[in-house]
Amino acid sequence: MPGSSAPVPTKVLWLARLERRVHAWRERRARARGQVPTVMPFPGYAGEDWVRVLGRVLIVPPVKQRRSGEYASVRGWRSFASVPIGFASVTVTVAGHDHQVVADRGGVVDTVLPGRLEPGWQSISMSVEGGESVEAKVFVVASDVRFGIISDIDDTVMVTALPRPFIAAWNSFVVDEHARQPVAGMAVLLERIAREHAGAPVVYLSTGAWNVAPTLLRFLRRHLFPPGAMLLTDWGPTHDRWFRSGKDHKSTNLRRLAAEFPDVTWLLLGDDGQHDDELYTTFTSEHPANVAGVAIRRLSPAEAVLAGGRTAVNDHSAASVPWVTGPDGAALLERLEEIGLIER
């Protein structure tokens, strides 16, 4: 209908322009203080002759560290204090070859480059404005690998109660990262699966913001989760909406992984506090040959209240792939053993 959708894009475009102006103002102030941008690399993944490179160009405020090298008392707001450098030119070196790529307006680098690397964890390098190169890790999936793991983060491996806005704000901006707790048994479950399937890629797919990626990486390492690629998103406005869609982010990346690795079947892990059940149901119906099974963690009553409710896990007994649920990692491990996805 004429004019029915015009007002919303106009408002959002104005908000997006305002966000960009704020970032530009913060960048000028930071550079005036003598600070320079750097690339914060995120773990990516790769196929036989290509690499998905992930990172973000930022001016990062200094953070005090303990002698052990661990960050001291890192509050959530510090993750959002960095200044993103939009449209920065980044040099990425893959297998000895330099490539010039441009970050998006939020400073995020998410691009695919040619390059042939050996299977397993490998290193590439990234730099900006002629500065010092930083090492980025990518997991190269061998051509004969047939199994992979895709796991949500919030309320699946880490207790966050993220969906409810005020709780999300408290967890994201106030809580000390050392106070965050892992979901019981999930580290053991993921490590067990990764160990049984040598060479299997692990992908952590979350609706969390790229700002918190360093915090999440330290959390996963601290609690002995297997390393993996990390696919997060940007919370800022787009050209046509106030906030990016977390559901679209997840569904797009699920379909992308299925297309990039057509011979891999994925074990999908999530929880019933967001949209994982719905997303995995849709993905399984569209790509049954790419799903080895689905494991959904059931939130406790208290967690469900904080999360704003629980998504009803429907009866999936007729599904073409195994579908299990449980309250924690130990229960999911037992269910996966019963159906043969994990050896007893």
Domains and CATH numbers, the chain: 9-140 (2.60.40), 147-338 (3.40.50.1000)
Q: Quote the CA–CA distance of 205 and 22 in Å, as a whole number.
A: 29
Q: Check residue 201 and give its pLDDT.
A: 98
What are the structure tokens assigned to 12, written together?
Answer: 């959002």
Q: Which amino acid is at 22?
A: V
SS3 of residue 86 by DSSP: coil
Tens digit of each residue's pLDDT (9 = 90 or more) over 246-297? 789 999 999 999 999 999 999 999 998 768 888 999 999 999 999 999 999 9
Residues ≥6 apart with Cβ < 8 Å to 201: 45, 139, 141, 145, 148, 149, 228, 229, 261, 264
Q: Check residue 251 and give its pLDDT.
A: 95
Tens digit of each residue's pLDDT (9 = 90 or more) over 302-332? 665 555 555 555 556 546 799 999 999 999 9
On the question of pLDDT at 241 being above 50, the answer is: no
On the question of pLDDT at 2 being above 50, the answer is: no
Q: Check residue 45 and give its pLDDT.
A: 98
CA 188, distance to chain mean position in Å, is: 20
56 DSSP β-pair partners: 40, 108
Q: Which amino acid is at 159?
A: V
The answer to whether the Cα torsion of 172, 174, 176, 179 is positive or negative is negative
Say what the alpha-carbon torsion angle 92, 95, 96, 98 is, to the nearest 10 degrees. Answer: -30
**Which range has the worst mean pLDDT, 205-209, 223-227, 256-260?**
205-209
Assign 1 a pLDDT band (cuts: 50, 70, 90): very low
SS3 of residue 99 by DSSP: strand
- Percentage of residues in the chain having pLDDT higher than 90: 56
Question: How far is residue 331 from each of residues 125, 158, 209, 274, 325, measured CA to CA in Å?
Answer: 40, 16, 29, 20, 8
Q: Check residue 212 and give its pLDDT.
A: 82
Global confidence as pTM: 0.84
Q: Check residue 226 and give its pLDDT.
A: 98
* Ramachandran category for residue 36: left, alpha or beta (phi over 0 → left; psi -120 to 50 → alpha): beta
206 DSSP β-pair partners: none
Average pLDDT of the residues in 91-119: 96
